[in-house]
Amino acid sequence: MQTKSEIVGVYIGARNSVAVRGLWNSLPPLYCQCAVAYTDFWADGAAVLPGANDIEQSARKRALTTYIERFNNTLRPRVSRLVQKTLSFSKSLENHIGAIWYFIHHYNTSLLVEHYLKNND
């Protein structure tokens, strides 16, 4: 069974080198020292992330991006503001960002509660 991981860095914006740099800068410094970056071999990611050019394009490394895709598929139904054809859709960018942050804090808190309950039963 796959364990869930805490979200430690977030950048909300366009998919470009500025966004990749923003995501990297959002990580705590300790994580940046020992981080392993898995990308979909996108040129902007390889230009910004340290060591990304050294990663070989094997099927195993490509498969590791499925963790990110799985999280994105978890995020969409839980934050209905991101789905345009719902009643809760908002045109305000600030509301979208706030809803994403609310989800991230709730997600991380639920992991802590789950861990606590598992270890204290």
Q: How far apart are the first and last CA of the chain?
A: 20
Q: Which one is predicted more confidently, 82 or 7?
A: 7
- Supply the pLDDT for residue 1: 42
- Supply the pLDDT for residue 19: 86
Q: Rounded mean pLDDT of the chain?
A: 75
The amino acid at residue 84 is Q
- Supply the pLDDT for residue 14: 82
Spatial CB neighbours of 4, under 8 Å, sequence gap ≥ 6: 111, 114
State the burial class of residue 44 (Cβ atoms within 10 Å of its Cβ: 0-12, 13-18, 19+). Answer: middle
Poorest-confidence range of 20-24, 32-36, 60-64, 110-114?
Answer: 60-64
Question: Which 8-state DSSP code applies to residue 2?
Answer: P
